[in-house]
Amino acid sequence: MAIYAVGDIQGCYVELQQLLEKIHFDPAQDKVWLVGDLVNRGPDSLAVLRFVKSLGDSAMTVLGNHDLHLLAVAAGVAQLHRSDTLDELLQAPDCDELLTWLRQQRLMYAEGDHVMVHAGLLPQWNVQQAAQLAREVETALRGDKHVEFLAHMYGNTPNVWDDKLTGYERLRVITNAFTRMRICKVQGEMEFKFKGEVEKIPADYLPWFDVPQRASQDATVIFGHWSALGLRVTPNIIALDTGCLWGGPLTAIRLDNREIIQVQCATPVAKNW
């Protein structure tokens, strides 16, 4: 059995199939971990969701910001953006079934020494605390009041974690850290506008994974979300968003030996980080 982690797919169904064929993925024996953003901007979000759902326990998915955006649009609490490519999915006869499945997915998954999230972990969160906080959002998303949660999900404040936070402010900070964060200050203050290369990070900010004494540094954190960062593999982080959507490759890594497998983008869209 092999476990492969795959970077942001964002509706790139053809490339996903090519990648799984290249690694000889066998759902009866192997597992694939997906770092979130299954949908949007790419050409075939509907096919991606149908396929990943069909894999059952052979696939482990965490939710990304585009996945949450889809749920919010479908719930009527957010509007489609000009660059969204979700119409076919939203009009599909099995849309409700797919979105119900999507709401059951996790914000964070941990197994052994590996932790998978879409964007990152705040530097003061250890793995155990992060798992507990992820469950708070997962419970809200799966519950009867999930539409109310989605309606309060958006916003950039508060942008610093505080254990005393309650209600939707607490859930918003947790959601933003797991699905939107790229950079923060040493004290964990998040900034959400920056999407560029590491060399252009604003003064006083760091990539979240470079904050000194980060509480989760004993684990290997697998994430995507930051296409301008690209592929980065170190002893304790694996960044897998290589921008397939924008013309880069779709990337997988085999976790036991860190073998990198890639396929090239078939039809890139215009770059719009």
Whether the per-residue pLDDT at 270 is higher than 80: the answer is: no
Residue 105: exposure state from Cβ atoms within 10 A (0-12, 13-18, ≥19): buried
Q: What is the pLDDT of residue 267?
A: 76
Q: What is the pLDDT of residue 273?
A: 40
Per-residue model confidence as pLDDT tens digits over 218-262: 999 999 999 999 999 999 999 999 999 999 999 999 999 999 999
**What radius of gyration do the chain's Cα atoms show?**
17
- In the chain, count H helices and then E strands: 8, 13
Ordered structural domains, the chain, with CATH: 3-182+214-263 (3.60.21.10)
Q: What is the pLDDT of residue 266?
A: 86
Whether the per-residue pLDDT at 203 is higher than 50: the answer is: yes
Q: What is the pLDDT of residue 269?
A: 73
Q: Of all residues in the chain, what percent carry a pLDDT higher than 70?
A: 99
| Residue range 141-149: mean pLDDT, rounded | 98
Whether the per-residue pLDDT at 55 is higher than 90: the answer is: yes
Per-residue model confidence as pLDDT tens digits over 80-131: 999 999 999 999 999 999 999 999 999 999 999 999 999 999 999 999 999 9
Contact 101, 128 (CB under 8 A): no
Structure tokens that stand for 97 in this block:
């079934």
Name the DSSP letter for residue 62: B
AA identity, residue 72: A
Per-residue confidence at 68, pLDDT binned at 50, 70, 90? very high
Residue 164: exposure state from Cβ atoms within 10 A (0-12, 13-18, ≥19): exposed
Whether the per-residue pLDDT at 272 is higher than 80: the answer is: no
Predicted TM-score of the model (pTM): 0.97
| Residue range 60-74: mean pLDDT, rounded | 98
On the CB side of 54, CA atoms within 13 Å amount to 7
Per-residue model confidence as pLDDT tens digits over 23-46: 999 999 999 999 999 999 999 999
| Alpha carbon distance 66, 86 (integer Å) | 10
Per-residue confidence at 271, pLDDT binned at 50, 70, 90? low
Contact 177, 149 (CB under 8 A): no
